[in-house]
Amino acid sequence: MSDAALTSHISPQPVVKPKLSRDDWIMRACMVGIGSLLVIFIVLPLYTMLSKSVENKAEEFIGLANFNEYFSTPALFQSAANSLSIALISTFVVISVAFVYGYALTRTCMPYKWLFKIIAVIPLLTPSLLGGISLVYWFGNQGVAKALLLGETIYGPIGITIGSSYWVFPHALMIIITALSITDARLYEAADALRTTKFRTFFTVTLPGCKYGLTSAAFVVFTLVFTDFGVPKVIGGNYNMLATDVYKQVIGQQNFQMGAVVSVVLLVPAILAFVVDQIVQKKQVAMLSARAVPYAPKPSAGRDMSMLIFCSIVALVIVGMLGMAQYAALVKFWPYNLSLSFSNYDFDVMDGGGWEAFWNSLEMATYTAIIGTVVIFYGSYLMEKGRGFDVGRKIFHMLAILPLAVPGLVLGLAYIFFFNNPANPFHFVYGTIGILVLVSISHFYTVSHLTAVTALKQMDPEFESVSASLKAPFYKTFFRVTVPVCTPAILDVSMYLFLNAMTTVSAVIFLYSSDTTLASVAVMNMDDAGDIAPAAAMAMMIAYTCAGVRIMHSILSRGLIKHTQAWRNH
């Protein structure tokens, strides 16, 4: 105390302490508020789960004994090896196919690009289970093309690999297309001027130019497949994977501790992939130059034709998956009575939740989209445009990025541990639609947050400076300028949240109650009970809804942009 007084006496100039304005206080308070929500709904549940993994059933601390047990159980250990090999093979397949497909869309003059773009999006509109169900009809015991497998069974690694590749394809494709689109045309002009062969240009310019995008896509695919639960559940047969193990431990054997242990094992590679991806993306940003010239491909008959053939095959596979699910949903009694009817859509006469499950899903996805968009966009605004408070903003950013590293199944299990505890003040959300909304927002937080941040970063940082000089309160500028200018990004975020909330299985599988069954869960339960055709019908209901929302989104975007963003057209 006396020391401090002394130094301030000697030092001629004290450090200037900025006075905070009312706006600063409000913004910081709101950011701390949203940050606390992230802590409560992501960090604390994860922490609870981690501590469960080092406890016994009596909730006593037992160190790594559970892990010891896990690794000495050969069957469980085998699952890890299975998950790893399936994830690696799928990553290789998906990245190769998506790269050629993306190359065709960005770097060639192949006809019907628009159609191929639309088809590539289809898997995003369906739950991951749909691919598995379709495969059963194509190659299952009574499948139409069973002979093509030459006696191999689809129930196992083959089915899981194909089904997983199908639904992660658009995720990889989007990243690869972005990477291919940002390459600078001037590099190609230079290569042309130096008379470099096309072949060499590809290996010296094209590939290095998108290596970060490819790496990033590979990690995303690996993590998605490694942690996915839907596909192996439907088509995995007796082939065990980590994600299905978690489910079996928790739902089948009620062994929560072991479930937590498997979750931790599931979390490790996901976090590793996440960290590598973060590093890679930092490098990619550095490669972007503001003066890059977009690349405009020139026609080349041979190349364009072979690309058309390749993309047509991929598109056919995707359409075939969706088409078979639709056909199966309409067929009366496969394979004996192939006449068409809507009887499979009569969900109320089947176990699994009935039509109510569908309406629940709709309600849940709508809440997720609305509440999620508001909270996430406002949070990213506070983080991006707040003044000072650098430490707080950095922490907030880390909290917002964290969910990307946590597989849905793991987060769902963490939620059980955290919210099922009656001593938890938030215990009341357990078993309600609220917890499903919470887990969906949390699980899909990161991508939405990053979308919003990107849009906010594109706005002139001096808007806030000017408003402050004009003494306009921050919320006035937020509502009158920031929100209207960011409308396209806001719509993107809400659609992203809706589609994912509608299709996710893994995040919600542990959390629904008999009153809050969801459509995607119903698909799984009906499939489990052997009602595969109604499961396909329900999966198609999800697909129609998602397609409808996507179409609505593009109409709405166009309309809104015309209306609120008249300035863009001039």
Interface residue list for another protein (CB under 8 A): 13-21, 23-24, 387, 460, 462-463, 465-473, 476, 480-481, 484-485, 564-568, 570
Tell the smallest beta-carbon distance from residue 322 to another protein (Å). Answer: 39
Tell the smallest beta-carbon distance from residue 559 to another protein (Å). Answer: 16
Count CB-CB contacts under 10 A for residue 95: 23
Please say which residue, 283 or 394, places its beta carbon nearer to another protein: 394
Count CB-CB contacts under 10 A for residue 89: 16
Secondary structure class of 339 (helix, strand, coil): strand
8 A C-beta contact, residue 541 and residue 358: yes
Reading the block at residue 221, the tokens are 């695919």
Cα 350 to Cα 25, 57, 128, 142, 283: the distances in Å are 55, 36, 22, 22, 52
Nearest partner of 30 among 370, 387, 375, judged by Cα: 375
Rounded CA gap, 204 and 532, in Å? 49
Please say which residue, 306 or 487, places its beta carbon nearer to another protein: 487
Tell the smallest beta-carbon distance from residue 27 to another protein (Å). Answer: 11
Reading the block at residue 44, the tokens are 């604390």
Please say which residue, 23 or 277, places its beta carbon nearer to another protein: 23
In what helix (H) or strand (E) does residue 273 lie, and over which residues does it extend? helix 256-287
Tell the smallest beta-carbon distance from residue 33 to another protein (Å). Answer: 21
Tell the smallest beta-carbon distance from residue 285 to another protein (Å). Answer: 21
Please say which residue, 447 or 560, places its beta carbon nearer to another protein: 560
Tell the smallest beta-carbon distance from residue 479 to another protein (Å). Answer: 11
Count CB-CB contacts under 10 A for residue 3: 7
Tell the smallest beta-carbon distance from residue 34 to another protein (Å). Answer: 22
In what helix (H) or strand (E) does residue 331 lie, and over which residues does it extend? strand 331-333
Tell the smallest beta-carbon distance from residue 465 to another protein (Å). Answer: 5
| Burial (Cβ within 10 Å: 0-12, 13-18, ≥19) of residue 424 | middle
Beta bridge partners of 333: 337
Largest Cα–Cα distance of the chain, in whole Å? Answer: 96
β-pair type (337-340, 331-333): antiparallel
Please say which residue, 21 or 255, places its beta carbon nearer to another protein: 21
Tell the smallest beta-carbon distance from residue 390 to another protein (Å). Answer: 11
In what helix (H) or strand (E) does residue 332 lie, and over which residues does it extend? strand 331-333
Tell the smallest beta-carbon distance from residue 481 to another protein (Å). Answer: 5
Please say which residue, 320 or 484, places its beta carbon nearer to another protein: 484
Please say which residue, 201 or 564, places its beta carbon nearer to another protein: 564
Q: What is the distance, to the nearest Å, from the Cα of residue 75 to the centroid of all Cα atoms in its chain? A: 30
Please say which residue, 282 or 476, places its beta carbon nearer to another protein: 476
Ordered DSSP codes for 365-391: HHHHHHHHHHHHHHHHHHHHH--S-HH
Q: Which residue has the tokens 């598109």?
A: 315
Please say which residue, 276 or 459, places its beta carbon nearer to another protein: 459
Ordered DSSP codes for 539-561: HHHHHHHHHHHHHHHHHHHHHHH
Cα dihedral 250, 255, 257, 261 sign? negative
Please say which residue, 7 or 465, places its beta carbon nearer to another protein: 465
Please say which residue, 343 or 564, places its beta carbon nearer to another protein: 564
Helix-helix angle 487-503:433-443, to 10 degrees:
120
Tell the smallest beta-carbon distance from residue 562 to another protein (Å). Answer: 13
Rounded CA gap, 526 and 532, in Å? 6
